[in-house]
Amino acid sequence: MRISSGVMNCVACSVSSRFVATYCDIAPGHPDHGPYHDTEYGFPVRDDDRLFERLVLEINQAGLSWLTILRKREAFRAAFDDFSLERVARYDARRKAKLLANPGIIRNRLKVDAAVENAKRILALRKTHGSFAAWLDAHHPRTKEEWVKLFKRTFVFTGGEITGSFLLSTGYLPGAHEEWCPVYAAQDDSCMYC
Ligand SMILES: [Zn+2]
């Protein structure tokens, strides 16, 4: 996750150089980003409702900052029945209208429709693979380009950036943390496949 970039002058020699601040630079210690960075970002997720939550949050981030989404997370959980796939898959027009009137979440019709449609599609994957996690495992590993193609034909509202962020944040694509970040070493030890 690239957060900001710019030009800075070296304090020793004054030579300017470009810098890019990463999530590992800005997140630790931050009241919202800190806990997410330290305990969730890049860590494997095995529970289907939690995987669904992360996919919905990434979809809702489109065009907005991740901080906005993290700050609305509890409101999202309350509004979407704690991301119960079974429940969200059954949302009808009336329930969707209620969501679109909820100021605690992102009131975007396409994003609300995508949450409901993707819940239905994940439930269909459960029938063939047992769980969303098992379906992801069955296709792991593959390149980001291959994942994006697969997601585009399996789900809705899952373009390259959303798919890449979702897979990075759930440990299916490498590179969530910088090598110098303490979490990088911690995740190396808890690899889900060795
Ligand atoms: Zn990190």
Query: Residue ranges per domain, the chain?
Result: 2-40, 48-169
Q: What is the pLDDT of residue 92?
A: 98
Give the distance (Å) from ligand 1 centre to CA of residue 176.
7
Q: What is the pLDDT of residue 34?
A: 98
The residue with tokens 């806990």 is 35
Three-state helix/strand/coil letters over 2-36? EEEEEEEECCCCCCEEEEEEEHHHHCCCCCCHHHH
Give the distance (Å) from ligand 1 centre to CA of residue 3.
13
> For the chain, which ranges sit under pLDDT 70?
1-12, 15-18, 188-194
Q: What is the pLDDT of residue 194?
A: 45
Q: What is the pLDDT of residue 2?
A: 55
The superfamily in CATH containing domain 48-169 is Hypothetical protein; domain 2 (1.10.340.30)
Give the distance (Å) from ligand 1 centre to CA of residue 182.
7
Give the distance (Å) from ligand 1 centre to CA of residue 181.
5
Can you give the pTM of this predicted structure? 0.90
DSSP codes joined into one string, the chain: -EEEEEEEE-TTT--EEEEEEEHHHHSTT-TTHHHHHHHTTT-----HHHHHHHHHHHHHHTTS-HHHHHHTHHHHHHHTGGG-HHHHTT--HHHHHHHHT-TTS---HHHHHHHHHHHHHHHHHHHHHSSHHHHHHHH-S--HHHHHHHHHHHSSS--HHHHHHHHHHTTSSS-SS-TTSHHHHHHHHT-TT-
Q: What is the pLDDT of residue 9?
A: 67
Q: What is the pLDDT of residue 19?
A: 72
Give the distance (Å) from ligand 1 centre to CA of residue 27.
8
Q: What is the pLDDT of residue 4?
A: 64
What burial class does residue 28 get, using C-beta atoms within 10 Å of its C-beta: 0-12 exposed, 13-18 middle, 19+ buried? middle
Q: What is the pLDDT of residue 62?
A: 96
Give the distance (Å) from ligand 1 centre to CA of residue 69.
19
